Structures are given as structure tokens and as C-alpha cells.
Amino acid sequence: MKKNNGYKNESERRSFFRSESATATVIGAVLLLGIIFTVFAIIRIDAVPEWKNDAEYSHMDDIGEDMADLKSKIDMMSTILALNSNSSYINSSNPSSLAPPLVMNVPFHMGGGEIPFIDSIKSSGNLAVNKDRYVMSIIVNPEDDEPYFQSINCGTINYSSQNRYYVDQVFSYENGALILKQKDQAVMMLYPSILFSNVSTNENNVSNYDVSINAIRVLQKPYIPPDIISSNSRCSLRLTGIGYQPLYDSEIKSSGNIDRFVLTITTEYPKVWELYFEKIMENAGISQDKYNLTNESKNVHLIFPEISDPASENESTLEIKRLYISETEIKAEPEIGLN
């Protein structure tokens, strides 16, 4: 009987130890799962937003490159059309041509910011043609009885982001310039084809300047309302070269006699354009007293050269030798998918 009781007690002790070991295993597994879930929660709350912010920032860099590519291709088309203004391309001087038009495509990756295996949700963006208004007007020799006047509705191409973490940005292409807007600040990243060049200085210390202005007119079909694509996938912008034409050459139309001209720009970014004109004037060696630059509401006015005192007109140290104005027409059509 004592042997049987001892065997029984030994069995009970072994069963108890097995029960404790199983409980410890379960508790350890629960604690391990708790640690894993805690780590994932911390990553989800703290790390993932930072990763998403960095991913959307990287996507904005890609969009900036897409917009720079857009400007580069339009500049290239403008050069080709200028060199082949009488060629068989479809242009303003030969609208009935049956030859293939000059066409280029600019891909846009509209959405971004996804993180593989963690968060596949993308941000989105809007690509719009002629959503904003940009008009450039020029008056040559405004004091004459019959001054030359030209107004060009240039149009715009815009990309506006709809980010979930990183700050939203707007890229705007207008009249050859690429502008980046973030919150309430905007800066011109790439410059238009508006040039002031000092070509000579005579024995009387009078500096002669050439001024060249190539306006970029963005057309669309249909022209009204603006064409807008909103997507988080892929799209492209189809560019078609319509034509290039010279609008004004002072050596032909004014026999080289230019007193001054007035350039007026209507834009959503007047301060940006004002700073641009100040910069190019400084680079050309033109002091601020030789021109008049004002910014009123959405209009920027440039008078060049400016003579504040009529009595000092004969003592001016700056003259316009040549003013050349041209226009390039480009049709822009947003399309779904990368073509």
C-alpha cells in the first residue's frame, strides 16, 4: 500500500509540473504576441507616417521632373517650329497640310507615396490645361499716334497634388516659365524666353539693348471649359506643335525706332514675375532707374526704358536697338495612361 501511495503522489507531482510548464508556455506566447503587436502599433503610429511623408516627398520630386520635361519638350518644339515655319508640319502658316504633325508625349505619374507590403494607398493629383488665366499684352511706342498693340492669351498647364502626409504643391507652366507654389509661397524654377541683352555701347556711353520675347500659347481641344484629369494612377499630356510666327520686329515695322514699350502680364503669380523681371534686368546690367516695374493685384507692368524726367530725355544712357516678338502655339491634351 505504501508503494502504491508513493507512486500515486509521484504521478500527481509530475502532472502538476506539466500543468505549470504548459501555462508558462501559453503566458510566454501571449506576452510575445503582445510585444509583436505593440511593436507593430508603434511602427504604424510613429514610423509609417514618416515613411509616407518621405515617399510623397519623393513623388513630388518626380512630378517636378515631369513638369521640367514638359517645359523642355515645349521649348524643343518651339525651336523646331521656328526653324521650320514654312515646312510641311501643321502650323499656322500651313493649316491644310496632310503631313504628320509634330507630336510629343509627356508622362505623368499622378499618384505616389505607397509603401510596399505596409501601405499601398496612393496620393492623387490634378492635371489641368488652361485652368488659370495668363495674358501678356505689349504696347510699342505708346506715345505714337498709332502704337503697336498685341495681346496674347497664353494659357497654363497645372499640376496640383492631393497628398495625405506631405504638404501639397502646385506646379504651373505659363508662357515658358515653370513655377512651384507651396502653401503661400511661390518661386520660379525655370525661366521663360524673355531676354534683355546689351549688344553695344557707343562713344557717347549709350548702351544699346536687344529685347526678345517669345510667347507660348497653350491651346486645348475643346477650348472651353478647361480640361482636367484627377487620378492616382498614370496619365500623359499629348503636345502638338501648331505653329510659330513672328509678331513684331522693330527693324521691319518701326525702322529700328523704338522709344519704349509697355509689357503687362496678368497672372496668378504676380510677385514671382515681378522678381523675375528684377533679376533679368540686374543680370543685363540695367539699373532700376532705367525701367518702371509695378505689381497691381494680378497685373505686372513693365515700362522699358523709363524716363521719369522729360527734360533729361536727350541724356538717356540706354536705348532699344531691336525689339523682336514671336509666338509659338502648342496644343495640350491630357490623356489617361502613358502613351
Determine the Cα–Cα distance for residues 79 and 90; give it in Å rounded to an integer: 15
Say what the pTM is.
0.81
> What is the structure's pLDDT at 315?
54
97-110 in b/e burial notation, b at 16+ Cβ within 10 A? eeeeebebebebbb
- Left (φ > 0), alpha (ψ -120 to 50) or beta: where does 240 sit? beta
- Which residue in 152, 117, 160 sits closest to 134, CA to CA? 152
Q: Where are the beta strands (DSSP E) in the chain?
A: 102-109, 124-129, 135-140, 148-153, 156-162, 169-174, 177-182, 185-190, 194-201, 207-219, 227-231, 234-249, 261-266, 292-296, 299-304, 318-336
> Tens-digit pLDDT profile for the chain (339 aa)?
445 555 555 555 555 445 656 676 767 666 677 676 665 555 556 666 677 788 888 889 999 999 999 999 999 999 999 887 654 444 444 555 555 678 999 999 888 877 766 667 788 899 999 999 999 999 999 888 889 999 999 999 999 999 988 899 999 999 999 999 998 899 999 999 999 998 887 767 788 899 999 999 998 665 566 778 888 888 899 999 999 999 999 888 766 678 899 999 999 999 999 999 999 999 999 999 899 999 988 999 999 997 655 555 445 578 899 999 999 999 999 887 665
Closest CA to 131 of 162, 168, 167, 159: 159
Local structure of residue 118 (DSSP, 8 states): T
The answer to whether 103 touches 90, Cβ cutoff 8 Å, is no
Q: Residue 152's pLDDT is what?
A: 94
Helix (H, G, I), strand (E, B) or coil at 68: helix
